[in-house]
Amino acid sequence: MNRIDVLDERFYQVGDEYYPSVTTVLSAYPKGYGFQEWLKNVGGEAERILREAADRGSNVHNAIEQILLGRELQWITEGKQHYSLDEWQMICRFMEFYQDYIQSGEQVATETQLFSKKMKLGGTCDMVAKINGETWMIDFKTSNGLYKTHEIQLAAYKEMWDEHNSPKIDRYGILWLNSNHRTKRQFQGVDWQLKEFTDSHEYNLQLYYHTRALWDCENPNYAPKNLSYPNTISIQPQEQLAEV
């Protein structure tokens, strides 16, 4: 299976077929009133803010992946800062969670590419691990808030995982590394929490299929858009044309 990223969309190639990623499909999910108000308030800064948030999330995800591969990370070496303060704080929060709940248990999988021929869907889950004897699917988030699409995303991941892998997923949740309030949740620390949702898996899956129907209407061809265009374009310089 190959992953293809192009034009802010992600696809997975399975044999001769192309499956959209879960996040690509969920781009069709209604953004809601709150998002529209935010766009109104930030105006032309929206693209910059979203890009910076995406970069921060990528940096933290990549750092965690390196940690889970057994590599040592350093914040600053020889006067060079490799991560922003916000990023390093979130990396440290992950380490607190890992040392408290995962290290003594079992890390089943990390950064695992998933697909489902039944759902015609692909995706990459951040972590599957045993906590207190239960198999958890965990997605890392660095955003200022958590949204319904995060929950739907995990429901789709669980379906894809269970189709091909074992052990089956017992529970799933978001490891929110930018949480700024305490709750009564079982798994939490300073500015982080493992958030499990209240809606049922069946309900979240139903929302996924409704959203997929909308996405399919607008995207009848699952192939990435760049496959419809040549990869290289060139013309002969004028002096070469004159010699022909």
Q: Where are the domains of the chain?
A: 2-223
Q: Which CATH architecture fits 2-223?
A: Alpha-Beta Complex (3.90)
Rounded to whole angstroms, how far apart are CA atoms 154 and 139? 7
Residue located via tokens 């939490």: 188
pLDDT of residue 38: 66
pLDDT of residue 240: 59
Residue type, 16: D
Residues of the chain whose pLDDT is less than 50?
none
**Residue among 11, 41, 14 at smallest CA distance from 27:** 11
Q: What does the pLDDT look like over 178-188, one tens digit per residue?
A: 987 767 777 89
Contact status, residue 90 vs residue 127, Cβ threshold 8 Å:
no
Q: How far is CA 147 from CA 28, 34, 78, 103, 205, in A?
A: 14, 11, 39, 28, 15
Specify the long-range contacts of residues 117-120, CB closer than 8 Å, at least 24 apart. Answer: 117/14, 117/17, 118/163, 119/156, 119/159, 119/160, 119/212, 120/17, 120/19, 120/20, 120/222
pTM over 0.85: no
Q: What does the pLDDT look like over 146-204, one tens digit per residue?
A: 999 999 999 999 999 999 998 999 999 999 999 877 677 778 999 999 999 999 999 99
